[in-house]
Amino acid sequence: MARLNHHFLKLTTGYLFPEIARRVARFEQDRPEAAARIIRCGIGDVTEPLPAAALEAMHAAVDELSRRETFRGYPPATGYDFVREAIVDGDFHPRGCDIGADEIFLSDGSKPDASAILEILGCDNVIAVADPVYPVYVDTNVMAGHTGEALTGGDAGRYGGIVYLDTGADNGFIASPPTAHADIAYLCFPNNPTGAVATRAQLESWVRWARDHDALILFDAAYEAFITDPSIPHSIYEIPGAREVAIEFRSFSKIGGFTGVRAGYTVVPKGITGSAPDGGRHSLHALWSRRWATCSNGVSWPVQRGVAALYTDLGRRQTSELVRFYLENARLLSESLRAAGLRVWGGVNAPYVWASCPAGFSSWQTFDLLLGEAQVVVTPGSGFGRCGEGYFRVSAFNGRENVIEAGKRMAALTSVGSSR
């Protein structure tokens, strides 16, 4: 008899986006005349074409595969050297981060990496996450059996064994290091869903906490390209001492429009160790290298060429344009929400705008209101944790026309009441 991974059965609700899709489908069924008006500002998927530099490089790479002399088979599992070198030269060395090319592990995206990293981490680690949180951090730990059971009552939606760090308007949606014991903390800056960014001093306090408590930081920098404030660090390795305590995830999904192409990378510095049951310390870089050699055959040749092209002068100019385009969307959406009398966060150093619900409305009620009255799909804040209740997220990943129209419709909803 095949036994299943019973930890999956602990997952309480489906992933947030299936529920959104269900409600949108029901709306389309109930109000077919309004279905065509729907503008989706919910899921964080890009809309604009790939930067031309990446496209050209990928076309050329496909052509190379058509000739025996230039054909490529299996790539190195962790990425070709020219890509890993372009990454450290482009993303880390200019910021003074002491990261080597052999500490870069190229992958098909940072969501898979955030999940796979659990393969090298013990199941008895206590993890700490902010609330609201990108749900992947929690659900992957539940699936891997690294948490307790789903909680009930006032803690419904949470899981035993996880340390939740409440955030809200009062702390600018930035979690402080836990006072309770935790072995691993997930940090995501710029943040999904709130768009918050951590200052250098805040990141320093996290690195200090990790060093003092022999803990590990899993730093998700999927949106670093959207940082506009020059004082905000883009990488955790800009903080002295982080090399020994932090793993960083990066993604090309949003900076390069690669959500469909698929590419990202993880930085695992050689200095980080974890403890074995006998108390011995072992290199996580060695374990992760072994994991890659065993479980992956790497990223395709055309995609690796596309990634490298993002780091050329032309590629950089084109990705900057793309980022500026989405940030302008975020600015327009923020303005509209403010015009509707709502309080707004994020959207300046991040492609997500986080807004308070109209007075008296919960997150899902606001979702239904915006879908029903404005045919704008947003993401209910409560889907990211109980501290997200009373808020909703608007994604700036959209075409300009849609953003302007969605903004107009949301701004017109002032009649629903003023902000909390």
CA distance 91 to 368: 41
Of 56, 46, 58, which is closest to residue 300 (Cα–Cα)? 58
Task: Report the nearest approach of ligand PLP to the CB of residue 114 (Å).
Answer: 6
Q: Toward ligand PLP, which CB reaches closer, 188 or 247?
A: 188
Task: Report the nearest approach of ligand PLP to the CB of residue 64 (Å).
Answer: 25
Q: At what angle do helices 52-64 and 301-310 cross, to 10 degrees?
A: 150
- Per-residue burial over 158-185, b if 16 or more Cβ lie within 10 Å, else e, is bbebbbbbebeeeeebbbebbeeebbbb
Task: Report the nearest approach of ligand PLP to the CB of residue 232 (Å).
Answer: 16
Please give the helix or strand (H or E) that residue 216 lies within, else none. strand 216-220
Task: Report the nearest approach of ligand PLP to the CB of residue 278 (Å).
Answer: 34
Cα-Cα-Cα-Cα torsion 369, 12, 393, 106, nearest 10 degrees, comes to -150
Contact 201, 176 (CB under 8 A): no
Task: Report the nearest approach of ligand PLP to the CB of residue 259 (Å).
Answer: 5
The residue sitting closest to ligand PLP, measured at its beta carbon, is: 109
Dig out the tokens for 140 from the structure. Answer: 């992957």
Of 30, 28, 26, 42, which is closest to residue 367 (Cα–Cα)? 42
Q: Which residue has the tokens 């019973």?
A: 6
Contact 101, 85 (CB under 8 A): yes
Q: Toward ligand PLP, which CB reaches closer, 394 or 413?
A: 394
Q: Which residue has the tokens 């059971």?
A: 149
CA distance 276 to 200: 32
Q: Toward ligand PLP, which CB reaches closer, 237 or 397?
A: 397
Of 201, 221, 237, 250, which is closest to residue 84 (Cα–Cα)? 250
Backbone dihedral angles phi then psi of residue 395, each to the nearest 5 degrees = -90, 140
Task: Report the nearest approach of ligand PLP to the CB of residue 72 (Å).
Answer: 23
Q: Toward ligand PLP, which CB reaches closer, 301 or 397?
A: 397
Task: Report the nearest approach of ligand PLP to the CB of residue 393 (Å).
Answer: 10
Q: Toward ligand PLP, which CB reaches closer, 109 or 302?
A: 109
Q: Toward ligand PLP, which CB reaches closer, 264 or 358?
A: 264
Q: Toward ligand PLP, which CB reaches closer, 109 or 132?
A: 109
Task: Report the nearest approach of ligand PLP to the CB of residue 44 (Å).
Answer: 4
**How many C-beta neighbours within 10 Å does residue 74 have?**
8
Task: Report the nearest approach of ligand PLP to the CB of residue 239 (Å).
Answer: 19
Dig out the tokens for 83 from the structure. Answer: 């890509």
Q: Toward ligand PLP, which CB reaches closer, 248 or 409?
A: 248
Q: Toward ligand PLP, which CB reaches closer, 44 or 195?
A: 44
CA distance 351 to 328: 9
Residues that bind ligand PLP (CB under 6 A): 44, 109-111, 134, 188, 192, 220, 222, 251, 253, 259, 264
Task: Report the nearest approach of ligand PLP to the CB of residue 62 (Å).
Answer: 22
**Three-state SS letters, 258-279:** CCCCCCEEEECCCCCEEECCCC
Q: Toward ligand PLP, which CB reaches closer, 194 or 289?
A: 194
